[in-house]
A = this chain, B = another copy of it.
Amino acid sequence: MKVVILGSGNVATHLAKALRKINVQIAQIWSYHYENAVDLANKVDAFAIKTLEEIDLDADICFVSIKDDAIPICINHLKAFKGIVVHTSGAVNINIFDGLANYGVFYPLQTFSKSKELSFDDIPLCLEANNANTLQILKDLATGLSENVIEVDSEKRKILHLAAVFACNFTNHLYTLADDVLKEHHLDFSILRPLINETAAKVQSASPINVQTGPAIRNDEQTLQKHEQLLLQQPQLLEIYKTLSNSIKKTR
């Protein structure tokens, strides 16, 4: 199997490395910034291309792993592509590829940062395709990468993506805000790391609603007020503190 990857961001990078690991040939990598394509290509024995005109139309799969709003720009260059065209986005409908022959979605429900290696073994790979044969080819490839392959249509994928924003992007931002609180008082973020680990570990077997802790769920008004006092000089943090505490109280 021979694939082309459009993109050199977090998802493209991890996907390219994971594919290379299972001996898929990465024929070409294109990126809006050519030097990034070269960087990634060097890591996965691929060839960096400068323009979309150079895409190898005989490749088996083209992964479009670029910013959501840039996807339409590629499509014109993929009209003659003989294999399968997939994007890797949580939020973009499959019908963006309407008019192509074989296409689909290959969405890894995970957070990727270039600086951190990770295994694809348990990453949910959410697949969708415009025909059964295409779906089967994507499934065969995906099961080589992960034990967690599922078929998800565009509507459900949008919901998964939205839920992931709460569980991951917003969560990481709360870590940042916690870090801000500590920095303000010359305390180091590392002290929170065991707590952050355990918070995630707890919900690996439990439902989060059943393991909520803290002053808001205990209705501990005294502590809530003390915390709000501490945040008086940081109105944005105070607003988030109040909003989330009130939201927790409603789950009591």
Number of copies: 2
Q: Which of the candidate stretches A16-24, A35-43, A75-83, A170-178 sits at the interface with the other chain?
A: A170-178
For the complex, is A1 an interface residue (Cβ under 8 Å from B)? no
CB-based contact B169/A171 at 8 Å: no
CB distance from A192 to the nearest CB of B (A): 5
State which size class the interface on A falls in. 35 or more
User: A187 to B126, alpha carbons, bound, how many Å?
Assistant: 13
For the complex, is A113 an interface residue (Cβ under 8 Å from B)? yes
Q: C-beta contact mask, A102-120 vs B, less than 8 Å → 1, else 0?
A: 0000000111110110100
Contacts of A185 in B (CB 8 A): 156, 159
A91, A170, A198, A211 — most chain B CB neighbours (10 Å)? A170
CB-based contact A227/B162 at 8 Å: yes
Partner of A163 from the list B181, B202, B212 (CB cut-off 8 Å) is: B181
CB-based contact B169/A213 at 8 Å: yes
Contacts of A99 in B (CB 8 A): none
15 CB-based A-B contacts, threshold 8 Å:
A109-B192, A116-B205, A158-B226, A159-B182, A161-B227, A165-B215, A166-B178, A167-B195, A168-B214, A169-B213, A170-B244, A172-B211, A173-B216, A189-B208, A193-B204
| Known A168-B192, A171-B196; 5 more pairs at CB < 8 Å | A116-B211, A167-B196, A169-B214, A170-B240, A178-B208
